[in-house]
Amino acid sequence: MEYTIEQIAALCEGRLVKGSTPVSQVQYLVTDSRRISFPNTSLFIALRTPLRDAHVYIEEVYQRGVRLFLVQHLPENNTYTDADFIVVPDTLVAFQLLAARHREQFTYPVIGITGSNGKTIVKEWLYQLLQHDYSIVRSPRSYNSQIGVPLSIWQMNSRNTLGIFEAGISQLGEMPALQKMIRPTIGLLTNIGEAHSEGFTSLEEKLQQKLLLFSGADMLFCNMDDARIEQAVMDTGVSLFTIGHAAGNTLQILSSMHVAGATRIAAVYREVERSIEIPFTDSAAVQNAIACWAVMLYMGVTDVDIATRMKVLQPVDMRLQMVQALNGSAVINDSYSFDITSFSIAIEFLQQQQQYHQKTVILSDLPAFTPDETYSVAAHILAQKQVHRIITIGSKWQSLSRLLTVLPAKVEQYATTDAFLQQTTVHHFRNEVILLKGARVFAFERIAAMLSQQVHRTVMEINLSALAHNLRQYQQRLQPGTRLMAMVKAFGYGAGSAEVANVMQFHKVDYLAVAYADEGVDLRKAGIGLPILVLNVDEAAFDAIVEYNLEPELFSFPILQAFLRFLQHQGLQQYPVHIKLDTGMHRLGFEESDMPALAALLQQQQLLMIKSVFSHLASSEDPNDDSFTHLQARRFERCCDVLKDALRYPFIRHLSNSAAIFRLPELQYDMVRLGIGLYGVDSANEHQLSLQTVGTLTTTIAQLRHVKAGETVSYNRRGKITRDSRIATLRIGYADGYSRKLGYGRGKVWIKGQLVPVVGTVCMDMMMVDVTDVPDVTENDTVEIFGPHLPVQQVAAWSETIAYEILTGIGQRIKRVYFEE
């Protein structure tokens, strides 16, 4: 659905400043300057957040072809004469008002979902279960925030017959704005729990806030087995479809029974006993499936159709995941759903992977009811993003092949997934990144299995969304104008240098730092264009440093003189370098007594340009050492003053590491260096930073065995069994980075909600744990070595070391899996 710019201005109650542009149709709303696919018909909304004011990106967005803007003030010295600006007091409020006015155009049913957990899964399952009966518009991924909801609502159009939107809040006062945009006719409350409770004084307060979504709804679905929900929903004044085990509920649950990896659920609805079977056994899945069952009954789906569809419910992986593939390739698996918005997001993620020069997209037909113009939009996105090869699967794409054959990409088309698998082998793919984007019915997981490396069952999962979240946490604590250098040395602290650097480049950090030149070379070959500081430099690295435009740390007179001679021989001038000072760490660096000689040397040459002067704090995380930290700072300032007087041009000063960024804001200077904190480890816990776990190391159980009391386990018979026990052998050992110090019960792992101890000696490739007290353990169950349930800091403490050593010690043979939530 399109609006004129004049209509948009009226809908959001803004003042239109018209330019000379003939473009006036708005079809797409854009809040991220990095994600623009259709500039000619996009309205850029310059949002202000605590972290960033998007008005600074107007020039960048303009250069990308956008001519329509929603702003809080016109650009200074406005030279955009061919652009239209709508000026409003608050762009977020106007954005939400625009979405609310757009929502008013449609009268078909809208399901609004909120709760502490399960919102996205219930939404996606309802889509799976009802797509045969309705043309559904729904929230992409987890677009449930103050910004995500209006972007979701904007997708509504007259061809749809049902909307499904989720709403998430994290503090008081957020839900009324979401309610005005979603205006659900049908409400569904998944549950109430501890998730995202920081902004509320109690669970009861959070529940009351969530229930505001359902104001004006015709029907509210809720689980009355939770007494808190039962009491609260009675006061809403909304008609209730109640679910619970007690008699009198609209859908009374009689029983649920596990049967061969499935769950059979019996219930009574309208005095008739009915049953379904779902291919899941965990309690959360059962609860979510029952909620979907209730909605289907209310919407008149027959028992036969319900039973048939429930049996083939597919798991929902809400993550856009990248894994290593065969022949030097990588696979981005985003095949749990297919709509044009999530397709755009996936394509942007594909474009970020600069380490792969060849990019392939494998995509299926879009879901039923999708109009032909949506295929045209998808083809336009593929053309704009310069994909090298396009492989389509499905008869609809075959009938619309004209949309693709005009593109410069190589195009292959197959009628079915079976046909693709029969006619293609892994040898068709080499040194490329492959995006899988397919509707569920096409079973693209079979393609992913064919392409993915079948290696070690132990996996290191890297949450790129958490990485970006942690970056923002620190950016929010920077003084105005302070720059940020991200540390990606040591294989990105075990997370993968290129993958981490791609995220940092996407989020526009100022600098990267690596330990050695070859790490910087790898980043350049991976397409990273940010300035890169090399911390450990020797003469053997000079050629590579210059060839790949890296910036060396110079820390002594010998290395400085050697680099000057190299530049003289190469005929280079004004080469960017960084001066390292020793202010008390006593590892590398010029000392304060060196400053007169260093200043004189730098002043008389033209070969070097000093980009920054920095030092390293020895104990910034320890309040007991703050006096020494401030002594280091005073030494640092005195040294910088000497060099500043000599050089007569500005350079960047940086001293703070992760711990100091928050603890000692007065030491931020011109730039800070963010290392371990980026990866979710706060070395000074008093910060109370809301950091998220980036790396999760998991393995699986290879074998279970019963061992009688008196027997021993592992080498040298040091694992003494004092009771009849059940012992699990795990597929991880010290060759993977799991220290031998963690044997004999010192270390523990997380299995099915419990910590269990390591038994006996850790072997090279295996180790054993005692799972006697954990019910329902089976072979191939997943085991968390560290992650959200077992922090890496705890594993480090058991190992008598620090988190840095644990993270950087994870073996290269461990498969890394990257995902965005």
Q: What are the φ and ψ backbone dihedral angles of 26, each rounded to 5 degrees?
A: -110, 120
The whole-number pLDDT of residue 326 equals: 82
Q: Has residue 719 got a pLDDT over 80?
A: yes
**Average pLDDT score over residue span 421-425:** 89
Q: 176-180, 369-373, 581-585: lowest mean pLDDT where?
A: 369-373
What pLDDT, on a 0 to 100 scale, did the predictor assign at position 383? 87
Q: Decide: helix, strand or coil at residue 564.
A: helix
Cα(369)–Cα(395) distance, integer angstroms:
14
Q: How far apart are CA 6 and CA 18, in angstroms?
A: 9
Q: Where are the alpha helices (DSSP H) in 186-339?
A: 203-211, 227-233, 283-298, 303-311
Please write the tens of the pLDDT for every residue from 66-120: 999 999 999 987 789 899 999 999 999 999 999 999 999 999 999 999 998 889 9
For residue 159, give the 3-state DSSP assignment. Answer: coil
What was the pLDDT predicted at 249?
A: 96
Given a cut of 80, whether residue 399 has pLDDT beyond it is yes
Q: What is the mean pLDDT of residues 45-73?
A: 91
* Three-class SS state of 626: helix
Q: Is 388 helix (H, G, I), strand (E, B) or coil?
A: coil
Q: What is the H or E stretch that residue 519 is in?
A: helix 517-525
- Given a contact cutoff of 8 angstroms between Cβ atoms, the answer to whether 338 and 131 are in contact is no
* List of residues 6+ apart from 557 with CB closer than 8 A: 590, 594, 597, 598, 601
Per-residue model confidence (pLDDT) at position 196: 62
What is the mean predicted confidence (pLDDT) over 608-632? 94
Round the CA-based radius of gyration of the chain to a whole number and report it: 29
| Average pLDDT of the residues in 483-494 | 88
Within 316-371, residue ranges assigned H as helices are 340-352
Residue 318, pLDDT score: 65
Put simply, whether the predicted model's pTM sits higher than 0.85 gets the answer no
What pLDDT is stored for residue 817 in this prediction? 87
Which amino acid is present at 328? G
CA angle 208, 214, 218 (to 5 degrees): 140
Q: pLDDT (tens digit, 9 = 90+) per residue, 124-176?
A: 999 999 999 999 999 987 789 999 999 999 999 999 999 999 999 988 999 99
Pairing, β 389-393 against β 767-770: unpaired
Q: How far apart are CA 758 and CA 749, in angstroms?
A: 7
Percent above pLDDT 70 for the chain? 98
Instruction: Check: CB of residue 537 under 8 Å from CB of residue 577.
Output: no
The answer to whether 587 is annotated as binding is yes
Residue 16 clears pLDDT 70, i.e. is over it: yes
pLDDT of residue 648: 86
Pick the residue with more confidence: 351 or 249?
A: 249
pLDDT above 70 for 501: yes
Question: 109 Cβ partners below 8 Å, 6+ apart?
Answer: 161, 162, 163, 185, 186, 299
| DSSP, res 366 | P
Rounded mean pLDDT, 796-803: 93
Measure the N-to-C terminal CA separation of the chain; round to a whole number of Å: 28
Identify which of 565, 137, 519, 562 has the alpha carbon closest to the alpha carbon of residue 366.
137
**Complete DSSP assignment for 275-292:** EEEES--SHHHHHHHHHH
Q: Which stretches of 115-206 are assigned E, i.e. beta strand?
A: 136-138, 162-166, 186-189
Q: Which of 438, 373, 422 is nearest to 400 (CA)?
A: 373
CA 821 to CA 318: how far, in whole Å? 6
674 backbone dihedrals φ, ψ, rounded to 5°: -100, 115
Q: 355 pLDDT exceeds 70? A: yes
**pLDDT 10s digits, 202-213:** 888 999 999 999
Mean pLDDT across 320-339 = 82
Mean pLDDT estimate for the chain: 91
Of 116-125, 188-197, 226-235, 546-555, where does mean pLDDT reach its minimum?
188-197
Q: What is the mean predicted confidence (pLDDT) over 36-65?
A: 89
Rounded to an integer, the average pLDDT of 460-471 is 92
In the chain, the percentage of residues whose pLDDT exceeds 90 is: 70
Does pLDDT of 339 surpass 80? no
What is residue 688's predicted lDDT score, i.e. its pLDDT?
A: 59
Cα gap 577→246, rounded to integer Å: 73
Q: What is the pLDDT of residue 439?
A: 82
Amino acid identity at 678: L
Is pLDDT above 80 for 319? no
Predicted pLDDT at 683: 66
pLDDT tens, residue by residue, 694-715:
999 999 999 999 999 999 999 9
Asked whether residue 455 carries a pLDDT value surpassing 60, the answer given is no
Which residues participate in catalysis according to the annotation? 489, 715
Distance CA 454, CA 678 (A): 30
**231 confidence band (pLDDT: 50, 70, 90):** confident
Q: Which of 29, 79, 32, 39 is nearest to 59 (CA)?
A: 79
Whether pLDDT at 218 is above 90: yes
Nearest partner of 74 among 62, 64, 65, judged by Cα: 62
CA dihedral 148, 468, 350, 371 (to 10 degrees): -10
Give residues with Cβ within 8 angstroms of 331, minimum separation 6.
322, 323, 325, 433, 434, 436, 448, 451, 452
Tokens representing 547 are: 């060839």
| Per-residue pLDDT reduced to its tens digit, 646-690 | 998 999 999 999 999 989 999 999 999 999 999 988 765 544 568
Q: What is the reported pLDDT for 23?
A: 66
Tell me the HSE value of 233 on the side-chain side, using a 13 A CA sphere.
Answer: 27
- Reported in sequence order, the residue ranges of 607-657 that DSSP labels E, i.e. its strands, are 608-615, 652-654
Q: Which two tokens stand for residue 674?
A: 């963010």
Report pLDDT for 141: 76
* 130: Cβ contacts below 8 Å, ≥ 6 apart: 136, 162, 296, 299, 301
Alpha helix (H) residue ranges in 16-118: 58-63, 91-103
Which has more confidence, 445 or 765? 765
Structural domains of the chain, with CATH: 3-92 (3.40.1390.10), 106-311 (3.40.1190.10), 340-454 (3.90.190.20), 464-685 (3.20.20.10), 695-820 (2.40.37.10)
d(CA 254, CA 274): 10
Which residues are 501's β-sheet partners? none
How many degrees, rounded to 5, is the angle at CA 481 between CA 480 and CA 482?
95
Task: Please indicate if the annotation marks 319 as binding a ligand.
Answer: no
Look at residue 316 and tell me whether its pLDDT is greater than 90. Answer: no
Q: Which pLDDT band, with edges at 50, 70 and 90, does 195 fall under?
A: low
